[in-house]
A and B are shown apart, each in its own frame.
Chain A
C-alpha cells in the first residue's frame, strides 16, 4: 500500500464535483476516502446525501441545524412595509393588514429585523436539517441533510466544513451536483478539486460548466473519467482540448456497477480496486504537492 504524507500542520481538503447527478461523484469520493489511511468523508450533497448508504457508519450522532427566521409582533407592526421593501429575497408580504413571512424563502440575513422602525420583528430559530456524524472503519462520515422544501442548504454546508479535520486526515468533500451557489460554498476551502466526467456529449456539456466554476475560483483541479470504454471518449477529448489533467480512469465494468448498486465500497471488496483508488489518491496528492510548491 502506498505511503501518503501530508505536510505537517496541514490537513488536506479535496472536493469532488460533477456537472450533474449520477456521474460517479459519490463513487469516486467514497472510494478515495476509503482508500486513504485516515479520512473524513463530508457529504455536502444535502438534498440527496447518499455516501452514508455505502459507509453505513456506526455510532451516529445527530446535530440539528437551525437558522434565524423573523417573527412579527402584530401589536407593534404598523404596516409601513419597510421590511417588505428591504427583503431582496421577497420572503415577506403585507396582505390583508398583516405581515406574512415565507419561511422557506427567507435566507436569514437578519436585515428586516434590523430595519423595522417599530421594532416589531424578532428572530426565532427554525430547524432546516441536520448533520449526522459516525464512523466507518478508517473513515469519519459526516452527512448533511436538508429538510425537503427548504430553499437553501448553505447553512448546513458551512457547519459541515467547519468540522475539525485531523492533521493526518484527508477530507473528501462530496459536493452537490451542478454549478449553483451551493457548490461554490462547498469548494471554497478546498485545496484541490476533482471533476468527475462521464463519456457522453451531454455529460461533457455539464462538465464544462463545473470546469468554468473551478477556474473562476482559481482552484487547482484535475479530472477523473468514469465509465470508460475503449474508443472515442468525448470527455477525454474535452480534457485534451482544454488542457485539463486527467488523473485517472474508471473502466465501465459490470462488476463495478454491481458492487456499487449494492451500496458496497469497491475499495473494501477487492484489492484491485483498492490499488486503483489508492493510485488515484496518490496521483492527487502529487498534484497538490506540485501546486503548493509552485505557489509558494
Chain B
C-alpha cells in the first residue's frame, strides 16, 4: 500500500507541509517495499482549485492513503470519491508519521475546512 504526504523537501527527513493544495512536493511511500518517491506539486502555482488539482495528482499516483495536517473540502471530495483514506498527522516529522501509520496509531482526518476560494485575496 502506498501513502501520500505533502512535504517541504524531497527527503524522508523533510517536514510535513501544512497546506495540501500548496505543498511544494508530495511523498509517496510504499509501506511494503519501504521505498519512496517524490513528485512536484504542479498545483502550487494555480490561481484557484489547487486542492482539486493536487488531489487529482495524488489519486493518479496510486496512493491509497493520505496523511495530512488538514485538508480543504474540494480536495477531500476528490480523495474520498477515489476511495482514498485520510489520516491526520501526529507531528511534523515524515518518519514519525510513517511509523505511526504502520502501527495503526493514526486517527482519521476530521477537520475538513471549507477552503480559501477567494482568489486574489481580500
**B and A form one assembly:** yes
Q: Which residues of A contact B (CB under 8 A)?
A: 84, 87-96, 100, 102, 104-105, 151, 176-182
Q: Which residues of B contact A (CB under 8 A)?
A: 43, 46-50, 52-53, 55-56, 59, 74, 77-78, 81-83, 117-122
- The answer to whether B48 touches A151 (Cβ under 8 A) is yes
- The answer to whether B74 touches A96 (Cβ under 8 A) is no
Query: A105 contacts which of B59, B74, B82, B122 (Cβ < 8 Å)?
Result: B74
21 sample A-B contacts, Cβ–Cβ < 8 Å, listed by A number: A87-B49, A88-B47, A89-B47, A89-B48, A89-B49, A90-B50, A90-B52, A91-B52, A93-B52, A93-B78, A95-B56, A95-B81, A100-B81, A151-B48, A151-B119, A176-B122, A177-B122, A180-B118, A180-B119, A181-B120, A182-B120
- C-alpha gap A90/B43 in the complex (Å): 9
- The answer to whether B81 touches A90 (Cβ under 8 A) is no
Tell me whether A90 and B46 are in contact in the complex, defined as CB-CB below 8 angstroms, given that A151-B117, A180-B122 are known contacts: yes
Residue of A93, A179, A182 with most chain B CB atoms under a 10 A cut-off:
A93
B53: which A residues are within 8 A, CB to CB? 90, 93
- Report the minimal beta-carbon distance from B122 to chain A, rounded to whole angstroms: 4
Tell me whether A104 and B117 are in contact in the complex, defined as CB-CB below 8 angstroms, given that A90-B48, A90-B52 are known contacts: yes
A90: which B residues are within 8 A, CB to CB? 43, 46, 48-50, 52-53, 56
Query: A88 contacts which of B46, B55, B78 (Cβ < 8 Å)?
Result: B46
A177: which B residues are within 8 A, CB to CB? 122
Residue of A90, A177, A178, A179 with most chain B CB atoms under a 10 A cut-off:
A90
- The answer to whether A95 touches B59 (Cβ under 8 A) is yes
- Report the minimal beta-carbon distance from A281 to chain B, rounded to whole angstroms: 28
- Report the minimal beta-carbon distance from A68 to chain B, rounded to whole angstroms: 17
Could you list 12 further interchain pairs (A-B, Cβ under 8 angstroms) beyond the known A88-B46, A96-B83, A104-B117? A89-B46, A89-B47, A90-B53, A92-B52, A93-B52, A95-B59, A102-B49, A102-B74, A105-B49, A151-B119, A177-B122, A179-B122
A88: which B residues are within 8 A, CB to CB? 46-47
The residue of chain A having its C-beta at the shortest distance from the C-beta of B21 within the complex is A90
- Report the minimal beta-carbon distance from A81 to chain B, rounded to whole angstroms: 9
A91: which B residues are within 8 A, CB to CB? 49, 52
- Report the minimal beta-carbon distance from B95 to chain A, rounded to whole angstroms: 30
A182: which B residues are within 8 A, CB to CB? 120
Tell me whether A93 and B48 are in contact in the complex, defined as CB-CB below 8 angstroms, given that A105-B117, A180-B120, A181-B119 are known contacts: no
